[in-house]
């Protein structure tokens, strides 16, 4: 049985293939067309999925979509009847629903090929897709599953208990109240106006103090039961059509906060305005209130069900600062967040749920984030010979190394404070670089953050770089370390006696976004860090995404282009090295 899972006409459009219950490949369209958070029909991703698995669309049995227009339908109708200004929003959603209803025809038209007549569409509730993407990839039997985002199928916060392999929705918070909208509105208010910029406010929050909590609590309040409410006079999303650019576009969000916030707090920061103490304190205060409400809701859910395992998904599950505190501040003793918890990950969740609905059994457990495309050493060799003739920088050399020599060369290069582009195996699924499409550097160098931003990243100085650490060393280096974090989803505090050893990966508050590396999951990255440890006695390498203000590189060609237009010292493409030091190894 072949199921094509899709997140379509929605930000972070994506596609995946589930074959006989096993997740074979998953791709975000942005990695193909190079447009961040792209929204539309993910034709490029679908093509690559089919090509990689050597199948035709006529082989597909089901197309599963991570949304269902009829979810919470009566609540939608009731809301529109009492809020007539939302009629245009409903019309847009109906148009979007019609596109998804015709998705088989749209895919056929774009590919010039037809599905078999028996192929059916399965529409899965947006949050049920999120819950499924997390639960079925966790190793939990019984778990509480929570999905938190802006909105999907008229809900923003959804929870349910899973047991005997069945995923349920037991409760939800409906439109117009949303933790995701609350956080995104303040992200915009602080001058970070691009879709998906919430991580910038999260990074900034560590530089401030939560001095404005009392003010923020005028804007969002927890209610009795498992509930919270926005003070809607401070928001626009419920009274204006604020839909993203859904079709074939980079999503652009309209202003979510109203002028009433300006009266309460003052004028918003302009995108090019210097960041000052009040901006840092506001970011810290918003993060504080977000965490306080999230932890309280999670504790109420725990008290109701008394299940100690938690999965977290939805766009807000990318708030790694809050995630790192969940175990400490709630009754749960174990937390799982999938590698792609946001909307793109809904493609996998929709495919998983479709499988479960049809087969009445769990899909096969997948614990690898490496679900993307791969290229052979031969492909790379031919590419290098062809492309290096045209590189702008002529002071380079390229050569091939066997496994052992590769690790020694790269580890020594990093130890010498060289910046290394590390391109290996299958591309990661999700927003984080997890050792296959990464830029690597020495965490011991206190100037490395500035070096990286000067040479390649050109990003805000308050944004930290992450530490990738050998899993067996994690407990020795991090406070409150409980279990593995293979997907870089949690921020933890470093132990005080370790901070001065790795200043390049320590945030201003003494924390780091931990990424534990296991040999069984990624032997090449593991062996590289192990070799670096043998040289330096440090089991950590600085790891950031392989890109320069663009989606993470996918093809070797894109890695070469990034190397060419930046001041990266060394590029490693599988076993091939391109170095700006002319001497060979």
The proportion of the chain whose per-residue pLDDT surpasses 90, expressed as a percent, equals: 85
pLDDT value at 373 more than 90? yes
Residue 568 sits in a domain whose CATH number is 3.90.870.20
Residue 543 bridge partners (DSSP):
440, 466
The pLDDT assigned to 102 comes to: 86
Strands (E), 70-192: 120-123, 143-152, 155-162, 171-174
Q: 99-103, 150-154, 470-474, 485-489: which has the minimum mean pLDDT?
A: 99-103
The pLDDT assigned to 76 comes to: 83
87, 155: one domain:
no
pLDDT tens column, 527-550: 999 999 999 999 999 999 999 989
Domain-embedded: residue 368: no
What is the rounded (10 degree) CA torsion for 378, 379, 382, 388? -120
pLDDT tens column, 441-496: 999 999 999 999 988 988 888 899 999 999 999 999 999 999 999 999 999 999 99
Residue 159 sits in a domain whose CATH number is 3.30.420.40
Domain-embedded: residue 437: yes
77, 219: one domain:
no
> ∠ at Cα 343 (57, 422), nearest 5°?
85
272, 311: one domain:
yes
pLDDT value at 139 more than 60? yes
The pLDDT assigned to 155 comes to: 97
pLDDT tens column, 191-205: 999 999 999 999 999
The pLDDT assigned to 95 comes to: 53
pLDDT band of 88, cuts 50, 70, 90:
low
359, 393, 424 - which closes a domain: 359
31, 171: one domain:
no
The pLDDT assigned to 488 comes to: 98
- Please write down the HEC assignment for all residues of 166-219: ECCCCEEEECCCCHHHHHHHHHHHCCCCCCCCHHHHHHHHCCCCCCCHHHHCCC
Within 13 A of 269's CA, how many CA atoms are on the CB side? 23
The pLDDT assigned to 83 comes to: 78
527, 551: one domain:
yes
Mean pLDDT for all residues in the chain? 93
352-377 average pLDDT score: 96
pLDDT value at 585 more than 50? no
Strands (E), 22-141: 22-28, 62-65, 120-123
* Tally of domains in the chain: 3
d(CA 5, CA 27): 10
199, 335: one domain:
yes
333, 355: one domain:
no
526, 445: one domain:
yes
176-189 average pLDDT score: 98
pLDDT value at 16 more than 50? yes
206-216 average pLDDT score: 97
The pLDDT assigned to 130 comes to: 98
Domain-embedded: residue 201: yes
296-319 average pLDDT score: 98
d(CA 204, CA 217): 20
The pLDDT assigned to 487 comes to: 98
Domain-embedded: residue 366: no
359-385 average pLDDT score: 95
pLDDT value at 583 more than 60? no
Buried b (16+ CB within 10 A) or exposed e, 170-191: ebbbbbbbbbbbbbbbbbbbbb
pLDDT value at 96 more than 60? no
State phi, psi for 70 to the nearest 5 degrees: -90, -5
For residue 244, the enclosing domain spans 132-343
Q: 50-54, 194-198, 248-252, 302-306: which has the minimum mean pLDDT?
A: 248-252
359, 386, 407 - which closes a domain: 359
Predicted TM-score (pTM) of this structure: 0.95
259, 114: one domain:
no
The pLDDT assigned to 84 comes to: 62
CB 356 within 8 A of CB 363: yes
The pLDDT assigned to 26 comes to: 98
Domain-embedded: residue 218: yes
The pLDDT assigned to 165 comes to: 83
The proportion of the chain whose per-residue pLDDT surpasses 70, expressed as a percent, equals: 94
d(CA 411, CA 442): 9
């Amino acid at each position: 049985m072949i199921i094509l899972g899709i997140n379509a006409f929605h930000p972070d459009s994506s596609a995946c293939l589930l074959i006989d219950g096993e997740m074979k490949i998953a791709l975000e369209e942005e990695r193909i067309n190079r447009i961040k958070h792209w929204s539309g029909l993910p034709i490029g991703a679908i093509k690559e999925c089919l090509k990689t698995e050597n199948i035709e669309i006529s082989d597909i049995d089901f197309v599963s979509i991570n949304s269902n227009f009829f979810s919470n339908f009566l609540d939608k109708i009731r809301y529109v009847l009492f809020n007539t200004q939302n009629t245009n929003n409903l019309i847009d959603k109906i148009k979007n629903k019609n596109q998804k209803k015709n998705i088989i025809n749209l895919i056929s038209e774009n590919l010039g090929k037809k599905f078999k007549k028996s192929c059916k569409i399965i529409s899965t509730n947006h949050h049920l897709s999120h819950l499924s993407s997390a639960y079925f990839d966790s190793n939990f039997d019984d778990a509480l599953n929570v999905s938190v985002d802006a909105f999907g199928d008229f809900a923003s916060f959804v929870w349910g208990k899973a047991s005997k392999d069945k995923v349920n929705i037991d409760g939800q918070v409906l439109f117009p109240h949303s933790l995701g909208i609350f956080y995104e509105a303040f992200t915009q208010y602080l001058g970070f106006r691009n879709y998906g910029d919430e991580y910038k406010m999260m990074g900034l929050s560590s530089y401030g103090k939560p001095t404005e909590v009392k003010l923020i609590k005028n804007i969002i309040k927890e209610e009795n039961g498992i509930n919270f409410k926005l003070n809607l006079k401070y928001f626009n999303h419920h009274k204006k059509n604020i839909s993203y650019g859904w079709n074939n576009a980079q999503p652009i969000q309209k202003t979510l906060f109203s002028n009433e916030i300006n009266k309460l707090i003052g004028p918003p920061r302009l995108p090019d305005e210097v960041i000052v103490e009040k901006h840092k304190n506001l970011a810290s205060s918003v993060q504080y209130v977000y965490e306080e409400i999230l932890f309280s809701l999670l504790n109420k859910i725990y008290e109701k069900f008394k299940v100690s395992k938690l999965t977290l998904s939805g766009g807000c599950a990318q708030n790694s600062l809050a995630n790192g505190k969940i175990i400490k501040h709630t009754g749960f003793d174990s937390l799982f967040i999938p590698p792609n918890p946001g909307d793109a990950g809904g493609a996998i969740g929709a495919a998983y749920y479709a499988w479960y609905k049809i087969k009445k059994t769990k899909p096969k457990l997948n614990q690898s984030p490496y679900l993307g495309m791969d290229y052979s050493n031969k492909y790379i060799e031919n590419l290098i010979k062809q492309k290096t003739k045209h590189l702008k920088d002529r002071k380079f050399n390229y050569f091939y190394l066997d496994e052992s020599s590769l690790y020694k060369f790269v580890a020594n290069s990093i130890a010498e404070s060289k910046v290394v582009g590390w391109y290996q195996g299958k591309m990661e699924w999700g927003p984080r670089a997890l050792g296959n499409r990464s830029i690597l550097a020495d965490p011991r160098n206190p100037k490395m953050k500035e070096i990286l931003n000067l040479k390649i990243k050109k990003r805000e100085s308050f944004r930290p770089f992450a530490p990738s650490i050998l899993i067996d060393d994690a407990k020795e280096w991090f406070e409150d370390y409980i279990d593995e974090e293979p997907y870089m989803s949690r921020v933890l505090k470093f132990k005080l006696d370790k901070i001065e050893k790795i200043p390049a990966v320590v945030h201003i508050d003494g924390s780091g976004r931990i990424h534990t590396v296991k040999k069984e999951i990624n032997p090449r990255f593991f062996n590289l860090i192990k070799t670096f440890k043998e040289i330096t006695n440090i089991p950590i390498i600085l790891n950031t995404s392989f890109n320069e203000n663009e989606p993470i590189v996918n093809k070797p060609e894109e890695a070469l282009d990034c190397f060419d237009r930046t001041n990266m010292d060394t590029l490693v493409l599988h076993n091939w090295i391109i170095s700006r030091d002319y001497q060979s190894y």
